[in-house]
């Protein structure tokens, strides 16, 4: 596993993040083994959200940290807030309440990175700023970021907050690559030239914001994985070729495709399969040749004018 700096110059974090959205049903034994295997494989960054499993995912993870208190210093804890049942809420009261609940469930005194999970259409930036200031001053949150936000939404926040926004989680995979393809089809009438996100990729690069691709193995909006999916037979054929060439799995190639991008991409994977977890860790060690990267891009259906 390779490591990068995201929220702090003094703290190295794994180039691949382990998302904990699916751990709610793990037994005590399996949860301990899950974290231990992740650390052995080089992961040190774990991503949560207050809504994952209605808080159960944070509780499960907190149980692991309770049973082995030495683990806290070895990991980076990231969690998100802002989604409630049927609405989004980035009010001061909800942010503060959510963080207190996450700290309790995770059995820790500090969250390393807090992300705003989705844009709240009723957001008051000054309320977010008040929450961030109090959380930072109290030491309950070390750094801040966003998720699924475009450049103007981030600029609106920056007008009020004093903290640097270090991370933006965005959907990105070989098949869901509109934030890339819009750059390849500039000044054309192709559908891929439609700018749907305000040039968020370029914005993040210009502002040193680390993009964390979520659902890096998925197509559509939670429609399933493209790996070994007959809908993507040509893509899987090429992934298989690349897997043999680079001596990794097709999963590893799909993650390596994201890591080949010149900015500091930090994919978030959500697997609880320990073998796949190990496979993906190897992706950090390979660098796809330019020709191979573009071959995968084209076979996934993207246009090069």
pLDDT for 64-104, tens place per residue?
999 999 999 999 999 999 999 999 999 999 999 999 999 99
CA proximity to 138, closest of 105, 165, 100: 100
- CB contact set of 127 (below 8 Å; sequence gap of 6+): 90, 91, 92, 95
Model confidence over 190-230: pLDDT tens digits? 999 999 999 999 999 999 999 999 999 999 888 899 999 99
Question: Residue 98 class from Cβ within 10 Å (0-12 exposed, 13-18 middle, 19+ buried)?
Answer: buried
300 within some domain: no
70, part of any domain? yes
180 domain residue, yes or no: yes
Confirm whether 88 is a catalytic residue: no
Helix (H) or strand (E) holding 169: strand 165-171
Considering the domain boundaries, does residue 255 fall inside one? no
In this prediction, residue 110 carries a pLDDT of: 98
Q: Per the residue annotation, which of 34, 52, 219, 246 is the catalytic one?
A: 52
Per-position DSSP letters for 17-83, written without gaps between them: EEE-TT-TT--HHHHHHHHHHHHHHT--EEE--TTGGGGHHHHHHHHHHHH-GGGGGG-EEEEEE-E
Q: How far apart are CA 15 and CA 45, in angstroms?
A: 9
Element (H, E) at 2: none
Q: Is residue 303 part of a domain?
A: no
Structural domain tally of the chain? 1
Residue 192 counted as domain residue:
yes
Q: What pLDDT, on a 0 to 100 scale, did the predictor assign at position 8?
A: 87
Low-confidence ranges of the chain (pLDDT < 70): none
- Residue 141's pLDDT is 98
Task: Answer yes or no: is 257 within a domain.
Answer: no
- Write down the pLDDT at residue 284: 85
pLDDT for the residue 176:
96
Are 114 and 80 in contact by the 8 Å Cβ rule? The answer is yes
* Residue 46 confidence (pLDDT): 98
Range of the domain at 209: 3-228+263-270
Report yes or no on 240 lying in a domain.
no
Confidence (pLDDT) at 303 = 95
The CATH number assigned to the domain holding 84 equals: 3.20.20.100
């Amino acid at each position: 596993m390779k490591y990068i700096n995201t929220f702090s110059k003094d703290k190295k974090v794994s180039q691949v993040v382990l998302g904990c959205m699916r751990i709610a049903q793990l037994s005590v034994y399996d949860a301990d083994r899950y974290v231990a295997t992740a650390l052995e494989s080089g992961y040190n960054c774990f991503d949560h959200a207050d809504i994952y499993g209605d808080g159960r995912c944070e509780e499960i993870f907190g149980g692991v940290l309770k049973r082995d208190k030495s683990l806290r210093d070895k990991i980076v804890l990231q969690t998100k807030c802002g989604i409630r049942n049927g609405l989004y809420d980035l009010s001061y009261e909800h942010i503060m309440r959510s963080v207190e609940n996450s700290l309790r469930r995770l059995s820790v005194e500090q969250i390393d990175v807090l992300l705003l999970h989705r844009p709240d259409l009723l957001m008051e930036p000054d309320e977010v700023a008040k929450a961030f200031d109090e959380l930072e001053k109290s030491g309950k949150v070390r750094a801040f970021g966003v998720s699924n936000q475009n450049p103007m939404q981030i600029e609106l926040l920056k007008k009020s907050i004093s903290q640097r926004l270090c991370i933006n989680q965005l959907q990105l995979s070989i098949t869901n690559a509109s934030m890339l393809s819009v750059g390849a089809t500039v000044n054309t009438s192709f559908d891929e030239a439609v700018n749907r996100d305000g040039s968020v990729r370029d914005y993040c690069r210009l502002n040193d914001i680390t993009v964390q691709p979520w659902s890096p193995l998925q197509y559509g909006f939670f429609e399933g994985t493209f790996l070994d999916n007959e809908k993507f037979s040509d893509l899987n054929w090429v992934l298989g070729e690349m897997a043999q060439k680079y001596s990794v799995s097709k999963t590893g190639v799909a993650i390596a495709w994201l890591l080949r991008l010149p900015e500091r991409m930090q994919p978030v994977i959500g697997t609880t399969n320990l073998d796949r977890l190990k496979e993906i860790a190897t992706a950090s060690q390979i660098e796809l040749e330019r020709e191979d990267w573009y071959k995968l891009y084209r076979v996934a259906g993207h246009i090069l004018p």
